[in-house]
Amino acid sequence: MSYEIRLPLFEGPFDLLLFFIERDELDIYDIPISTITDDFIAYIHELEKLNLDVASEFILVAATLMRIKAKLLLPREKLDEHGNDIDPRDELVRHLLEYKKYKSVIVELAALEETRSLKEKRGNVLKELKKLSESTDVESELQDVDLYKLLKVYERVLVRFEDEQKKPVHTIVPFPYTIADKKKEILSKLVDTSKISFEQMIASDNTKIGVIFSFLAILELLQMQLIGITLGEGYNNFWVQKKDSKEQEKMG
C-alpha cells in the first residue's frame, strides 16, 4: 500500500509566512522567529522529499529567517534615534504587511475582473472615442469658422425654433362640473316648481360639457326614482318633474 502526501502550494515565501501566522494566530508585530523558522524550513524539506523544485526565493527567505534568528541571540549593538534596540524582525514585518496589503487588493481586482468578464463589450470603442475627440476639439473648429458657416448655423436654429413653435400643445383643463353637483342643482330647481323643461334647465349653462353633465345627472336621478320625465313639444325637448312621496312609495 502506498501513501500520497499533498502539501498546500503557496504563491511565494511571504504567502507561506502569512499562512503560518494566521494558522497559529500569531501577532504579526511580534513574530516568534524560532517557531516560524522551523515551520518554514520543514515545509522546504517536505518539498525536497517529494522531488519538487524549491524556488530560490523560498531559500532566500529561509536564509533571512535564520539570520534574524541568529541576530536575536546576539547582543544588539545598533540603537535607534530614541536609544532603543533595533529589532531585527522590523524589516521582515514591514515586507509582510506590504505583501498582505497588496494581496488583499489582488483579491478585489480578481473579483472585479470576474464581474467584468460577464459583461458584453460595447463594440468599436476606439471609433467612438475618436469621434468624440474630434467633436470636442473646439480650437480646431474655431479656426475653420467663417461668416457663411455662422449664417448657416443661424438659419438652422431659426428653422428649428419655428418647428418647435408649430408643434401642437396639449392643455388639460379640469371641468368645473360633477354629476353630484348637477343632481343637487336639478333637485333644487324642482323645489319651487312642479316641472321644468330640459331647455330651461340648461339655459344658464349651455356649454357642450355642461349639457352632457346635466343629462347624465338626469339619468342617475331617473335610476334613483327621484324624478320623472314627460315628452314635450319641441325638437329633442322633454320635461323633468319631481316625484312626490306617494308616487315614490308606489314605485317602491
Q: How many CA atoms lie within 13 A of 241 on its CB side?
A: 14
Q: How many CA atoms lie within 13 A of 99 on its CB side?
A: 16
Instruction: Evaluate if residue 251 carries a pLDDT over 50.
Output: no
- Give the pLDDT mean for 200-208: 80
Angle between the 208-223 and 179-189 helix axes, to the nearest 10 degrees?
A: 70
| CA 222/CA 242 separation, integer angstroms | 10
Whichever domain contains 238, its CATH number is 1.10.10.580
- Give the pLDDT mean for 129-136: 66
| CA 188/CA 202 separation, integer angstroms | 14
Does any domain span residue 58? yes
Does any domain span residue 51? yes
| Number of domains within the chain | 2
Instruction: Evaluate if residue 8 carries a pLDDT over 70.
Output: no
Q: Which domain holds residue 239?
A: 179-251
Which amino acid, one-letter code, is at 189? Answer: K
Q: In terms of Cα–Cα distance, which of 196, 188, 199, 252 is closest to 224?
A: 252
Question: Are 112 and 18 part of one and the same domain?
Answer: yes
Does any domain span residue 98? yes
Instruction: Evaluate if residue 83 carries a pLDDT over 70.
Output: no
Question: Are 102 and 183 part of one and the same domain?
Answer: no
Per-residue model confidence as pLDDT tens digits over 137-174 = 555 555 566 777 778 888 888 888 888 888 887 777 77
